[in-house]
Amino acid sequence: MINKTTNQKAWFFVIPVIILVAFNALIPLMTVVNYSVQDTFGNNLFFWEGVKWFEDVLNSPRFHDSFLRQMAFTGTILLIEIPLGIAVALAMPRKGPWVSVCLILMALPLLIPWNVVGAMWNIFALPDIGLLGYSLNALGIDYNFTQGPIAAWITTVLMDVWHWTSLVVLLAYAGLVSIPDAYYQAAKIDGASNWAVFWRIQLPKMKRVLTIAILLRFMDSFNIYTEPFVLTGGGPGNTTTFLSIDLVKIALGQFDLGHAGAMSLIYFFIVLLVSWVFYTLMMRNET
Amino acid sequence: MARINLQQLKHSYGSTSGGEPDYALKEINAVWEDGGSYALLGPSGCGKTTLLNIVSGLLVPSEGKVIFDDVDVTNMPTSERNIAQVFQFPVVYDTMTVFDNLAFPLRNRGFAESEVIPRVNEIAKMLELEDSLKKRAARLTADGKQKISLGRGLVRKDVSAIMFDEPLTVIDPHLKWKLRSKLKELHQRLGITMIYVTHDQTEALTFAEQVVVMHDGLVVQTGTPVELFEYPKHTFVGNFIGSPGMNILPAENINGEIGFEGCLIKTSSKADLQTLQGKLEIGIRPEFISFVDECSDSNNSSAIPVEIIRVNDLGKFKIVEVKHEQHLIKLISPEQYSIPSLSPRIIFDPDKTRLYADSWVVD
Amino acid sequence: MSIELKGVVKIKDAETHIYETDLKLSKGGFNVLLGTTLSGKTTLMRLMAGLEKPSQGEIWFNGENVTGMAVQKRSVAMVYQAFVNYPSHTVYDNIASPLKVAGVAKAEIKSRVESIAELLKLGPMLNRMPSELSGGQQQRTALARALVKNAELVLLDEPLANLDYKLREELRDELPKLFAGSGATVVYATSEPMEALLLGGHTATLHEGRVMQYGVTADIYREPNNLISAAVFSHPPINTTKVVKKGDELFIQDIACCQIDDRFKGLADGSYILGVRPHHLTPFSTDENSVKVQGVVKVTEISGSDSVIHIFFGDSSWVSESHGIHPYKVGDSIDLYMNIKQCLLFDEQGDLISA
């Protein structure tokens, strides 16, 4: 690495970024912190509450429910998307004319604006006019995602899988493509079975890439808001009210800013903690 | 063990812009005896790796046949050919220990642990890896990893041939000769057919009993290191082998005698020079040129007067670069010899001077 | 440009990469840094270039202290082992890039690039992209880019290591000629002693972060100041053995081998270390003063017209390199001969007594 001899001019380049980040992220964040430790009845009157809001949140059964719902959702998502993504990446050709075609196909779902995704699936799954909804009902399955909680869950999960598996595919594919041919040739010579090739060569070589994929999917799915909100609005009832949807309801619906502020911060720390633990564990053996 | 027979092998990876197939291998016919050590030597792009991959089954040739001991294996997949290959970059299974790496090929083929364990230990000892058996393979140095690659080939008792594709590329130069000697030692001990691809002549000449020199998709000459050195059949071989390589100088036919810029040169050729056609050249290795001893050989007509351009002292000998009429000639002078400074002249050893017509030797 | 390193030390992550070094490189000459892979050659070159700052000590160019000066300000060009070229520029643009950065006029750029390309036989390739060139041509492009800059200091970090054997020979022949005209000081790092000898000029032998010796190449080869320097400069490795002097006799491995020669006169009785270069150890005796060495053959390597024989000699491994084909088999018993006069003599600490 280049050991720079002192160059103070470099700070000038950073200032615009600092300003932007401060405006968009730091100051709003400080506002949230402000709200989370104080109480207000409007008119800019603030009373110091200390950790009261935090205790409130942590003891609130509503929070526990949406937290568990969120965990269940993220868990399901990861369990489906990661293996599926790897499988699709393995099936994609590594050389030849079809490579570009496959890559473009995989990239398409990622290009669609998120609320459009939600709206698409909403219409797609409507039991009377949607292709999926109508077909399922025609087959005799009693399907209505606006009323049945199981149907709502399955539809939400399906939507997310359709939307985001491509990301895992593309990342895993990049990892696979970087494995030199010699490894496959050596495996052939050693008489290794396809499973052994996957378990002993491909998966270990994809470790870094998969770590990133899992981290990204964890963070995004844990923070998910737009798609399920447009699809189900959090319903029926609150069966698909995930953590962020709940947070917005409290903050903007009930205008319970203190509670919401504390909840935001707790939410943030959970994501940070899990990500950090996961990353450290995965990278501990790398030089 | 296997006798490998290559018949009319040709291979093309694709077409040139003219629509003709672009042949990486133009036509190869060869027989490699069981238990021999062969080196495929040539510059980058001559087709040696292509040939190696065809023999090991990683590539199916466009034309021709590969025969192992009278069995046509041309279309047989690698796993059935009983060969092993060591690649340019060490290929090890990172997640397994050294022991498991070596045991992998045997376990895949369903051998019982009671057979696997002693065999792995035996091979590890031969390769001086016994102390590393419990370590994770990823932690070894480059030469250790290459030894593991080699070991995976040796553990299989039924292996008919081992291929090496420039295996010493990533090895520290100081350790290269150690691994080279180890390979030769193993070959002498185990007698397995070994085929070694390289662009480094020292590796090829040291390791192999027979060297196959390749150039532009063709086998130019096959022979022992001594034969290739003393009697190169093509100017390419003469130049490629030897450091520095053979001096190739333009020659003329002067009434049935060979001349170089007016000096008469005697060559080892016994051909009738009156009928000789084509571009004539003489080839003489720097080792076989010497300075004329002023006192005794002052009347030697084939002595060539030269101007000394550069003297490179390499310790064990000196490389002297001289010039005669715009032609640069290199010769090797022994360590203790002092180079004459007054009007030096050189002579070529006639028994070692070869005559070439259109780049092929004239016997 | 004259380059001087004064008391330079480089420590990275609590590991000393370069121990205190004082080095004065000859101006306008070819200087070889010879050492194994981790001996510190690259670190030393990066310090000279200014890509790294020394933890201690100073670097002086032409009598001026440049220790804190940024790379861009120093008149330095560097060529790496991996052929480093701008992949999206043609060969012409690659070679022209340092001139464009320096703001040289277009017409002058054209003439300089073309003359350098001619010199390096790249004339017909000027419009191609680096990916279309062979390894040798890519490295020539990198060399051209370094040459065209007319830098006063040119650093070459094992530039030929990734090339074909023959190509390496050709370029090695050309390199001194290429730089001879420019007057630049060239520093060339390599791990092969043969290259140092073939390139000539001056050589510095490096070992584990220390410069062992610096001087005219042939002199360093003939008179290494200690065992390590001799080992670095020897390929195959130099043979060593303990020798005991008792009065007028020398004992190797407790066997009386010969009479002492002039160099031993005046030395106290005791243990010394003898260094025998492989080509001074031969399967035939050269004169009646030859000392016989008996060993068991480990392996014989034949290359064209030379034989390299590895033997077990007592509990050490020795190597003999000789002209002619001597195909000994593994396990054969063998007699090799050496002449004490040709051996290097070191004291027990490994410092040279006489060569």
Chain C neighbors of A2, CB-CB under 8 A: 51-52
Q: At what angle do helices C135-148 and C91-101 cross, to 10 degrees?
A: 20
Q: Minimal CA–CA distance to A53: which of A241, A266, A273? A: A266
CA dist., res. C24 & res. B324, Å (int): 39
- Residue pLDDT, tens place only, C99-158: 888 888 888 888 888 888 887 888 888 888 888 787 778 888 888 888 888 888 889 998
pLDDT at A2: 46
Q: At what angle do helices A114-125 and A131-138 cross, to 10 degrees?
A: 30
Let me know if the fold of C3-232 is the same as that of C239-354: no
pLDDT of A55 over the 90 cut: no
Contact A182 B91 (CB under 8 A): yes
Contact C197 B312 (CB under 8 A): yes
CB-CB contact of C297 with C331 (8 Å): yes
Total CB pairs under 8 A between chain B and C: 91
Q: Identify the residue among B316, B335, B337 best suited for mutation to test binding to C, counting C beta carbons within 10 A and taking the highest.
A: B316
* Coil vs helix vs strand at C43: helix
pLDDT at A161: 95
CA dist., res. C190 & res. C35, Å (int): 7
The one-letter amino acid at B184: K
Phi, psi of C244 (to 5 degrees): -110, 130
pLDDT of A164 over the 90 cut: yes
Domain boundaries, chain C: 3-232, 239-354
CATH level 3 topology of C3-232:
Rossmann fold (3.40.50)
C-alpha distances (whole Å) from C78 to each of A210, B13, C149 are 38, 37, 10
Q: Minimal CA–CA distance to B74: which of B86, B85, B60? A: B60
Mean pLDDT (whole number) for A103-127: 92
Contact B312 C198 (CB under 8 A): yes
Average pLDDT in chain B: 84
Mean pLDDT (whole number) for B300-307: 75
Q: Identify the residue among A5, A6, A7, A287 best suited for mutation to test binding to C, counting C beta carbons within 10 A and taking the highest.
A: A5
Mean pLDDT (whole number) for C273-279: 84
- Rounded percentage of chain B residues whose pLDDT exceeds 90: 7
Which CATH code fits C239-354? 2.40.50.140
Phi, psi of B232 (to 5 degrees): -70, 130
Chain A neighbors of C69, CB-CB under 8 A: 5
What pTM was computed for the model? 0.75
**What residues of chain C have any CB closer than 8 angstroms to a CB in chain B?**
36-37, 134-135, 164-167, 169, 191-192, 194, 197-198, 200, 218, 221-222, 235-236, 277, 279, 298-299, 301-305, 308, 310, 321, 325, 329-330
Mean pLDDT (whole number) for A120-140: 88
Domains of chain A in sequence order: 14-38+47-59+256-287 (no CATH), 67-243 (1.10.3720.10)
Bigger pLDDT: A129 vs B13: A129
CB-CB contact of B322 with B307 (8 Å): yes
CA dist., res. B350 & res. A254, Å (int): 107
* A204 CB neighbour count, 10 Å cutoff: 15
Identify the H or E element spanning A277.
helix A257-283
Residue A192 forms contact with B (CB below 8 Å): yes
Smallest Cβ distance to B184: which of C169, C299, C325? C299
pLDDT of C252 over the 90 cut: no
Six-digit token pair at A60?
A: 């609130």
pLDDT at C187: 92
* Coil vs helix vs strand at B18: coil
CB-CB contact of B211 with C303 (8 Å): no
- Residue pLDDT, tens place only, A191-248: 888 888 898 889 888 888 999 999 999 999 999 999 989 988 887 888 888 988 888 8
Six-digit token pair at A139?
A: 């087959």
Chain B neighbors of C299, CB-CB under 8 A: 181, 184-185, 188
Q: How far is C158 from chain B (nearest CA, A)?
A: 12
Dihedral sign, CA of C169, C170, C173, C176?
Answer: negative
The one-letter amino acid at C147: L
Q: pLDDT confidence of A72, banded at 50, 70, 90?
A: very high
pLDDT of A46 over the 70 cut: yes
Q: What angle do CA C147, C134, C30 make, to 5 degrees?
A: 30
pLDDT at A110: 94
Domains of chain B in sequence order: 4-240 (3.40.50.300), 247-361 (2.40.50.140)
- Residue pLDDT, tens place only, B236-294: 998 888 878 889 988 888 777 788 887 888 888 887 777 777 888 889 998 888 888 66
Average pLDDT in chain A: 87
Chain C neighbors of B290, CB-CB under 8 A: none
Residue A183 forms contact with B (CB below 8 Å): yes
Chain A neighbors of B87, CB-CB under 8 A: 182, 185-186
- Residue pLDDT, tens place only, B59-113: 888 888 888 888 888 888 887 888 888 888 888 998 889 999 999 988 888 888 8
DSSP C60-108: EETTEE-TT--GGGS-EEEE-SS----TTS-HHHHHHHHHHHTT--HHH
Q: What angle do CA C209, C213, C216 make, to 5 degrees?
A: 135
Show which subunits contact B, needing at least 3 CB pairs below 8 angstroms: A, C
Residue A42 forms contact with B (CB below 8 Å): no
Q: pLDDT confidence of C304, banded at 50, 70, 90?
A: low
DSSP B319-337: EEEEEETTEEEEEEEETTP
ipTM score assigned to the predicted complex = 0.75
Minimum mean pLDDT range among B213-227, C120-134, C200-214: C120-134
Six-digit token pair at A59?
A: 């003891």
Mean pLDDT (whole number) for C231-258: 78
